[in-house]
A = this chain, B = another copy of it.
Amino acid sequence: MVFSKLLCNAQDGLQAKRERRKEARPGELLDAALTLFVDKGFAATRVEEVAKLAGVSKGTLFLYFSSKEELFKAVVRANISGRFAEWNEELENFEGSTADMLRYALTTWWERLGSTQASGIIKLMMSEAHNFPDLATFYQQEVMQPGNQLIQRILQRGMDRGEFRAINMKYGVYIVLTPMLFLAMWKHSMGAYSPESTRLVPEEYLATQIDIILRGLCLGDAPTPLSST
- Give the B-binding residues of A (Cβ under 8 A): 39-44, 96-100, 103, 123, 125-131, 133, 136-137, 139-140, 144-145, 148, 163, 167-168, 170-175, 178-179, 181-182, 185-186, 188-190, 192-195, 197-198, 200, 204-205, 208-209, 211-229
B125 touching A189, Cβ below 8 Å: yes
- DSSP class of A's interface residues: helix, strand, loop or mixed? helix
A168 cross-chain contacts in B, Cβ below 8 A: 204, 208
A221 touching B218, Cβ below 8 Å: no
A173 cross-chain contacts in B, Cβ below 8 A: 198
Q: How many angstroms between the C-alpha atoms of A99 and B195 in the bound complex?
A: 28
Residue of B nearest to A173 (CB): B198
A223 cross-chain contacts in B, Cβ below 8 A: 215, 218-223
B136 touching A193, Cβ below 8 Å: yes
Number of copies: 4
A195 touching B44, Cβ below 8 Å: no
A43 cross-chain contacts in B, Cβ below 8 A: 41-44
Residue of B nearest to A124 (CB): B127
B226 touching A99, Cβ below 8 Å: yes
A178 touching B209, Cβ below 8 Å: yes
A97 touching B226, Cβ below 8 Å: yes
Partner of A227, one of B97, B145, B217: B97
Partner of A198, one of B39, B100, B170, B194: B170
A224 touching B217, Cβ below 8 Å: no
Provided the pairs A140-B194, A225-B218 are in contact, do residues A129 and B189 lie with their beta carbons within 8 angstroms? yes
A189 cross-chain contacts in B, Cβ below 8 A: 125-127, 129-130, 136
Partner of A220, one of B98, B131, B188, B226: B226
A103 cross-chain contacts in B, Cβ below 8 A: 225
